[in-house]
Structure 1
Amino acid sequence: MSATSAAVAAFVTNFDLAVLLRRNAHDPYLAWRLFKELASSSPCYALSASAVSVISGIVARARMLPELEHLHRLLFLHPSPSTSASLTALARSCAAFGFHDLALSHLRSLRSLPASPPPPPLLYNSLLRSFLRSNRPDLVQILYRDLLLLGASPDVQTLNILMRALCDCGLLMDALRVLEKMPKKGSQPNEFSFGILIHGYCRAGLSDQALELLEGMGPRGCTPNLVIFNTLIAGFCREGKIHKAEYLVERMRENGLLPNVVTFNARISALCKSGKVLDAYRIFRDMKEDNGDLCLPRPNQITYNLVLGGFCKEGLVEEARALVDEMRRDGYFLMLESYNIWLSGLVRNGRLLEARNLIEQMRKDGFKPNIYSYNILIHGLCKQGMVSAARFMMGLMKNSGILPDVSTYSSLLHGYCSKGMVKAANRILHEMATNECFPNSFTCNILLQSLWKEGRTWEAGVLLQKMNEKGYGLDVVSCNIVVYGLCQSGKLDKAVEIVSGMWLHGSAALGELGNAFLSLVDDRNGSSKCYPDLITYSILINGLCKAGRLIEAKKKLLEMLGKGIAPDAVIYETFLHGFCKHGKISSAFKVLRDMEKKGCQPSTGTYNLLIWGLGRKNQLSAIYNLIGEMREKGVALDSVSYNNLIQAFCEGGMIDRAASLLDEMVKSGILPKFDSIRMLIKAFCNAGDFEVAQGVFRTGLASFGEKEALYGLLCNELCINGKVLDAKELFQAALDRGFAIGNFSYKCLIEELCKGDRVDDAYSLLIAMVNRGSLFDPATFMPVIDAFVKGGNKREADKLSETMMEMAAHFDDESCRTVSLPESNNFQPKTSSHSQKDSKIDDWRTLLHRDDGSGIVLKVLKRVQKGWGQGSIPTSQLCNLDLDD
């Protein structure tokens, strides 16, 4: 024994070694040297279970793998009665810090000790938990099989860990069998056993099966706790089954459990995700305002953030702003996450200046914006084409000490590519490499999609070649982008060729596009593994169906089935659309039945395609049967369903049935489409039933508000169908409301009024349009001028002529003022021809050269030219009007 070792041994004989090692844990190497010196002088003392437990934890935390292996050798060089316990402690430390293979090796060593009892179940449970925390459910199953080979009886904790691992692997049926085989005595399941399995089913979207497990807890002597109820409620909320979630909330109360804030947050989150943010807000207000009568929990930070995110997602910016103010008052706007949610909401809704100011406000409030904050704003700026502003923001980010990441550069790349600025995109790539922020496959695909979309395949090839030189090969997403571009550009044969080639050559099949893509082929990048997937076939089949090549599309379906790729609802609906578009309704129904046989349940969208197809063939009785089938299967109709039905019944002459559908959807709380309102108004006006048309118009106002497109629609139809006075009143109401006149056939209306000897009414409308500052087709004046001249009222005719010529002086340079309508709520009316400047100019010039025998136009213009001395009309304008004698 050396003098140093003897001194160390003498010191620790009167001091607990485990305590000494803990005091030196901050310096793992010093602790190890101390332990090693003592182990060489007094191995029996140093290799005790307590000392080994401490030193193994210290060196494992410090990732000192050679020292762990040396400790293992020491235990076998100096066997003692405590060797088994020391090996157990060493195995647990290795597992706890991620040395899983080493932990299993120590376990095998423990089992190989002569005359040693089997490893204790506590060791197995400890190892199982460590493997599970490290997301290694495969090792859990291996260890469990090892435990069974020893003939040991696992306890309930071991079985619970096993079920957790099986659920993590998606092996729910295996986990269920473990639960069912748990004995009624000894290792009988507890509430944690059921909770683990219920969580697994809910996470897999099988909440109904999880509810059945809840029902089976009673017979096994288990009572569901608050966590289990919350798990189920959250599962049903995620699946959109709000009514079942509400049922469970009531059941909780019946079991004596009060819903907590987690319960309510699950409901609020589900409502916000499904777009029912106002319903979520009502729950939030109830929670906030409850004075104890309803025993509701108070909202927490998560609750506020969920509602704020819901408002932002639905575009309710002012409501979100009010909530932010409320959060500030209540002390809940104190997290960077809340700022980022509000920042994302502002960007999502185009409030980029406010978002920029919020970044500054964050600093003033003591919150340093993180990389995610800056990326939100940079992405929003690039999406709006404001790439220069995004670059400036990135400069501010750098000045704040935050380096751009791949997401930052990807946004800029997308922005430059969308503007066709390939050189700037190249500079971004160079800057990324300079800053050691290497592009990934996602960046590569952004470039490919942007350039391929613009048809700049050669430039895409050059850029991708540079990416490939850096080691980023093409993946299936890249190939899908190319296949989509080929389908969109009508090069279906080349797309088919590439998809077939992918099975043999992977991404090397893109070499068929030309030499620019040949250099992208690199087996080192895994091109041979780049096989077509479900999305690849969806893109190709959709392109073939749109082109009417249905037989080839069916062959591709058979090909993907042969490759083991199961079709989804998108592919089935692609075939449905293709068959319906080409009038092959019977084939479409065969697809529907095959879809059901394969376990792919038809959705509302599926049935909408069939309704549309049947309507095109005027098969109204079949539509009735299909609606009955939808209701029998619990498939709800949506606004598209009703729109297709209304169109079919209107075109089939059953307009009363179409009107009843409008009433039905309004009562169901479904917002109608503008197309539905348009079709019904036109149908009833054409049928002469103007009273019902007025009722439909009022329904439209209730749904969309006071929109000029609605007024223009009814006004035009009334005018066309001879109800000129009613059209005049409606147009006057529109003018009183300050509406733009672009959606109105005002010229036709004034002509019809003049033809019906209602010149005064036509004149009043004309003056009202002039007085409100509208710039409209100067030809609109002529019917009134004609009428005045024929009636001998030349003075008023001259006044109108002067006004007409003043307007004509500006008409070639300006277009009528129109108000852009919001595109929300499916309100997207078609633009009237009267809002198109070119057509108005044509009308005006055509009128100047008309020959109706009266010569009124040229006479008036000559008189105006002579009398006014061209003071109000530019000479160039008169030349344009060809007013030569």
Structure 2
Amino acid sequence: MNSSALAAELLRRNAGNPALAWRLLRHLLSSPAAPLPPLRLIISLSRLLVVARMLPELHHLRRLILLPRHPPAAVRTALSALVSVSASAGLLDDALAHFRSLRSQFPSHPPSTRLYNCLLNCSLRAHRADLVEVLYRDMLLAGVPPETYTFNILIFSLCDSDRIEEARLLFDNMPLKNCQPDEFSFGFLICRYCKAGLSHRAVELLDEMERLGRSPNIVIYNTLISSFCKEGSIGEAEKLVERMRKDGIFPNVVTFNSRISALCKAGKVLEAYQIFRDMQEDNVLGLPRPNQITFNLMLDGFCKGGMLEEARALVELMKVGGSLTSLQSYNIWLSGLVKCGRLLEAQQLLEQMVQQGIEPNSYSYNILIDGLCKEGMIYSARSVMNLMKNNGTSPDPVTYSSLLHWYCTRRNISGAIKILHEMTSSGCFPNSFSCNILLQSLWKEGRILEAEKLLQEMNKKGYGLGIVTCNIVINGLCENGKLDKAIEIVNSMWQHGSAALGELGNAFLGLVDDRNEKKKCCPGLITYSILINHLCKAGRLDEARKLLLEMMGRNVAPDSIIYDIFVHGFCKQGKVSSAFKVLRDMEKKACRPSTRTYNLLIWGLGKKHQIEEILDLINEMQEKGIPKNVRTYNNLIHALCDREMVDKAASLLEEMLHNSILPNITSFSMLIRAFCKISDFDAAQAMFHGALTACGQKEVLYSLMCNECFLYGKISEAKELLQIALEKEFSLEHFPYKSLIEELCKEDRIDDGHSLINTMIAKGYVFDPATFMPVIDALGKKGNKQEADKLSEKMMDMAAHHDGSMVSFSDRLHGDSENKHQKQKQEQEVSLGSDWHNLLHRDDGSGIAMKLLKRVQKGWGQGSIPAPRPQNFDLVDEWEITN
């Protein structure tokens, strides 16, 4: 048996033991008389070593191949095999080492195109765009002709590096190298154009593809349709669907899902549902059936669009069809219920999920906890959090951040700090986001020393003082009257990054490692927006303009929001002509004004009663294609009402509806006030009923109409509105119930006043005890001592429980509201209000109320009415995150 046959036999017998096989073959190959084994044996041995990750042995094999006794042709072939096997296995560095040996040993015999392609592909998979370029240049220098496959690798590599224009140039030069683009060449570029938001350029490539006789596949079409859908160009997407059909490619479920997703995101949920329904019902056209993704997209569309009943029907359909089986579907439905305020249903859904074997994850619990916190139901949120723990899911930073945000929005800093301590004690450490919530709250409260201490702790624990934290500090300084200090810190940030916060006195300088230019926390657009906004608020417009020039000099381009700040600042000072100069400057700098920009200008003109100029500006908006919104019309309505052009203002409602803009409560409120002001109460009443139809039975509308009627002497109408409010169990906080009852008593309508008080008591309202006084006085004057005593007793009982808030019976049924009010009573004693004390001590000649109170107090032993106590305000003496 010759040596080659022996080597092959040894390799076959010891394939399961690579180390032994290598030792035997190395001994055989090291023999001076042994020729180089055949190529197939080299490849087999190489693969065996690669699989066993015996890479040093692989390099030893290369050295054996390079022994001088072997024929050059055989060596060249064997080295090429080593390169190919290593590259195919993803061993880029090893493949390059073998390739360098090949190129140095045989400079006049370049490798094949196939070998270059193998190395290029390996470099691409390793995301080594630099190597792709080096190998391609080497290929051209060696005179090796590239193939279409070569160009496809290069195009993909350039696209992957976001060098799309270079990729396009290479694509255009392919024919010069005698290579024709194939569907992969087109597909790579089309995909990258779509990702870059350049869908129209991608369509140009599609046109060129068809001109060259290349047939686009369904993947290319779906990529384009999805891209246009994401950009909101639904019409263009629909054209492509028709083009697909003409090309004989029938849209699949991916195509339809893209369209449904885009329509839902654009708010066209019913149009999306039409497509969804066709997919379910149209068997004639053979449309694809909805899959799990389709159902989830449609459910998400209904939920985000506030179409709860439609979403509920879809959930039932999914249950029947067996599609409501994924956690993602349940989370979408859970989020929809929370968004629409159906928190009890959401809690029940969590329980159902567990019963049906769908284990909620932290995201599921966080949806509900966040919704409960936003509704002020902190105790229910805590209960869900306990359920979360009991079911084996640990609260994460998102969970605690929702609770933290609740305490911060209610200015309960001590409660927020307790949450941080609770986080750390449970092993869930606060992140930058959590700390930033508290930091912002501390600055809002003006608790600067504590904010600075929190900054130190964040820095100490390595949370990273990024641009968000810096912006919170800068805004906090501005809000607390330290605008110049904020400007000083921003200027220092260009050199020191977030270490510039050391200028607060925290000794951050030198502690924060911000020397890396790429990571340095430099001022950005939001940073400058904060400073410019506060400078304009302070009337320092010249300094704000200088700051604008400075930021532009530092290549921070202003956006329309910054220009709007200047427009608002000038309009606020009555310098409308200067505001218009800002508008024209925006246009010169190619910064498109927004609807908000024009709304601010309309507001400024309205302050000067320049109606004609407002109308001209609205016409300019229409000419430039800038959409009007409800605020545009509200500003115009306000200006017209100020000039008592109320009929003209009212006619705008019809124009708004014609333009698909729904009037809001503000629109109707201004018109109601304006009609009442000119004593056209029939028109005001009609406008009020129109508002109820358009906006719903809102408490604010009833309180507005009640106040206006009372203000202009329409006492009976005001009383009727208050009675309706009581029937609907609205909060009476903004109703003139005290003044109205007093006025009824003055008009000798004691029964009406008495009836209102009894209704309020029967409905469970807790209200200002001073409301009783006019009725008690009136009853006393009429000699109705028994009724007066009853009311006095009720008044004293209410005085003992009154905490200064207006709470309805429906609120008291709400567990969290009740707990909230109990907690408020525990934490602080609230003054009963000056009205109460003034009425008790007034001297109107009768003294009846005072006499009654003294008699009642003496008989009941109630003691004196509590005096107001100073409110406690917890200070954070110390806070530290413990590991």
Q: TM-score, normalised by structure 2?
A: 0.79
Counterpart of 2:241 in structure 1 is 249
Task: Pick which of 81-90 and 625-634 moved more.
Answer: 81-90
Shift in alpha-carbon separation, 1:50–1:428, aligned structure 2, 3 A: farther
Deviation at 1:572, TM superposition (A): 3.0
Does the 8 Å contact 1:38/1:46 carry over to 2? no
Match of 1:569? 560
Residue of structure 2 aligned with 1:13, choices 8, 12, 15: 8
Return closer, same or farther for 1:707/1:583 CA change in 2, 3 Å cut-off.
Answer: same
* 1:809 paired residue among 784, 788, 796: 796
Are residues 665 and 237 of structure 1, via their aligned partners in 2, closer, same or farther at CA, if it must alter by over 3 Å? farther
Q: Which amino acid aligns with 1:207?
A: S
Partner residue in 1 for 2:598: 607
Match of 2:191 in 1: 199
The unaligned stretches of length 5 or more in structure 1 are 1-5, 822-836
Question: Would you say 1:705 and 2:696 are equivalent positions?
Answer: yes
Q: Could you say which residue in structure 2 is the equivalent of 1:662?
A: 653
Where does residue 826 of structure 1 map in the other structure? none
CA contact (8 A) 2:116 2:135 kept: yes
In 2, distance between residues paired with 1:415 and 1:771? 33
The alpha-carbon distance between structure 1 residues 787 and 464, as it changes in their structure 2 partners (threshold 3 A), is closer
One-letter amino acid of the structure 2 residue matched with residue 237 of structure 1: C
In the alignment, which residue of structure 1 is the partner of 2:323? 332
**Residues 46-195 of structure 1: pairs in structure 2 closer than 5 A:** 50=40, 66-77=56-67, 81=73, 83-84=75-76, 86-95=78-87, 98-114=90-106, 118-183=110-175, 186-195=178-187
Partner AA of 1:552 in structure 2? E
The 8 Å contact of residues 448 and 481 in structure 1, kept in 2 or not, is answered as yes
Deviation of the 1:333 alpha carbon: 3.2
Give the equivalent residue in structure 1 for 2:815. none
CA-CA distance at 1:520 after TM superposition: 2.4
Q: Is the Cα contact below 8 Å between 1:9 and 1:41 reproduced in 2?
A: no
CA contact (8 A) 1:775 1:807 kept: no
Deviates more, 1:728-737 or 1:376-385: 376-385
The 3 A distance-change label for structure 1 pair 628 and 788 is same
Q: 1:184 to 1:326 in 2, by over 3 A?
A: farther
Deviation at 1:238, TM superposition (A): 1.8
Q: CA deviation at 1:559?
A: 2.2
The question of whether the paired residues in 2 share the 8 Å contact of 1:809 and 1:874 is answered with no
Aligned pairs (5 A) from 1:655-734: 655-734=646-725
Q: What is the identity, as a one-letter code, of the residue corresponding to 1:231? A: T
Please tell me whether the aligned partners of residues 614 and 623 of structure 1 are also in contact (alpha carbons under 8 angstroms): yes
51-60 or 121-130, larger mean C-alpha shift = 51-60
For residues 724 and 460 of structure 1, the distance between their equivalents in structure 2, rounded to whole angstroms, comes to 52
Letter in 1 for 2:521: C
Partner in structure 2 of residue 503 of structure 1: 494
Name the amino acid aligned to 2:180: Q
Mapping 1:402-417, distance limit 5 Å? none
- Contact kept, 8 Å, 1:249 with 1:259, in 2: the verdict is yes
Aligned residues: 838
Structure 2: gaps of 5 or more residues? 812-828, 868-883
CA change 1:493–1:293 in 2 (3 A) is same
CA deviation profile, 1:159-179 (whole Å, cap 9, x unmatched): 333333333333333333334
Alignment correspondent of 1:583 = 574
| Contact kept? 2:300, 2:336, Cα under 8 Å | yes
Displacement after TM superposition at 1:496 (Å): 1.5
**Structure 2: how far apart are the matches of 1:471 and 1:639?**
46
Deviates most, 779-788 or 509-518? 779-788
Once residues 466 and 54 of structure 1 are traced to their aligned partners in structure 2, the CA distance between those partners, rounded to angstroms, is: 61
Aligned equivalents of 1:59, 1:633: Cα separation in 2 = 70
The answer as to whether partners of 1:467 and 1:473 remain within 8 angstroms in 2 is yes
AA at the equivalent of 1:817: V
Distance of 2:161 and 2:298 partners within structure 1 = 33
Residues 467-495 of structure 1: CA distance to partner in whole angstroms, max 9, x if unpaired?
A: 65676654444433332332332322222
Q: Could you say which residue in structure 2 is the equivalent of 1:537?
A: 528
RMSD of Structure 2 on Structure 1 (CA) = 4.8
Counterparts of 1:184 and 1:842, CA distance in 2: 91
Cα offsets for 1:207-266 (capped at 9, x unmatched): 344344444444343444433332222222222333333343344445444332212222
Cα distance in 1 for residues equivalent to 2:737 and 2:590: 56
Question: Within 1, Cα distance between the matches of 2:27 and 2:457?
Answer: 57
In structure 1, which of residues 252, 259, 265 is the aligned counterpart of residue 257 of structure 2? 265
Structure 1 residues 573 and 20, CA gap change in structure 2 (3 angstroms): farther
CA–CA distance in structure 1, aligned partners of residues 659 and 134 of structure 2: 55
**For 1:525-573, what per-residue CA distance to the aligned partner results, in whole angstroms no more than 9, with x for missing partners?**
8798333333333333333333332222222222222222323333333
Is 799-808 or 771-780 further displaced after alignment? 771-780
Task: State the TM-score, normalizing by the size of structure 1.
Answer: 0.79
Decide whether aligned partners of structure 1 residues 747 and 499 sit closer, same or farther in structure 2, where only a CA change above 3 A counts: closer
Moved more, 103-112 or 602-611: 103-112
**Paired amino acid for 2:601:** L
Bigger shift: 759-768 or 549-558? Answer: 759-768
Does the CA contact (< 8 Å) of 2:524 and 2:556 recur in 1?
Answer: yes
Pair 497,90 (structure 1): closer, same or farther in 2 beyond 3 Å:
farther
- 1:747-826 equivalence runs, <5 A: 747-749=738-740, 772=763, 774=765, 776=767, 794=782, 797-798=784-785, 801-812=788-799, 813-814=801-802, 815-818=805-808
Displacement of 1:679 in angstroms is 1.1
Q: Structure 2 CA distance, aligned partners of 1:180 and 1:819?
A: 75
The higher-RCO structure (CA 8 Å, 6+ apart) is 2
1:346–1:352: 8 Å Cα contact kept in structure 2? yes
| Whole-angstrom distance in 2 between the partners of 1:47 and 1:208 | 57
Offset, 1:513: 1.4
Distance 1:269 1:537 in 2: 36
Amino acid at match of 2:8: T
Q: Is the 8 A contact 2:456 2:506 kept in 1?
A: no
Partner of residue 624, structure 1: 615
- What is the rounded CA distance, in whole Å, between the counterparts of 1:72 and 1:758 in structure 2? 112
Matched-pair contact (CA < 8 Å) for 1:9–1:38:
no
Counterpart amino acid of residue 197 in structure 1: L
CA contact (8 A) 2:499 2:509 kept: yes
| Deviations 1:94-137, CA, capped at 9 Å, x for gaps | 45555445544544544445276544444444444444444444
Q: Deviations over 1:820-859 (max 9, x none)?
A: 99xxxxxxxxxxxxxxx99996445545555556x3xx45
Letter in 2 for 1:13: A
* Identity across matched positions, percent: 55
Q: 1:621 to 1:804 in 2, by over 3 A?
A: same
C-alpha distance in 1, partners of 2:365/2:21?
45
Question: How far apart, CA to CA, are the structure 2 residues paired with 1:771 and 1:28?
Answer: 92
- 1:217-296 → structure 2 map (5 Å cutoff): 217-277=209-269, 279-288=271-280, 290-293=281-284, 295-296=286-287
Aligned-partner SS, 1:672: coil
SS at match of 2:620: helix
How far 1:682 sits from its partner (Å)? Answer: 0.7
Q: Secondary structure at the match of 1:266?
A: helix
1:634 to 620, 625, 629: 625
Opposite residue 200 of structure 1, the aligned amino acid is R
How far apart, CA to CA, are the structure 2 residues paired with 1:669 and 1:520? 57
Q: Structure 2 counterpart of 1:335, which letter?
A: S
Distance 1:250 1:340, change over 3 A: same
Aligned 8 A contact 1:779 1:844 in 2:
yes
1:676 is displaced (CA, Å) by 1.9
Q: How far did 1:499 drift?
A: 1.6
Question: Who is 1:484 aligned against?
Answer: 475
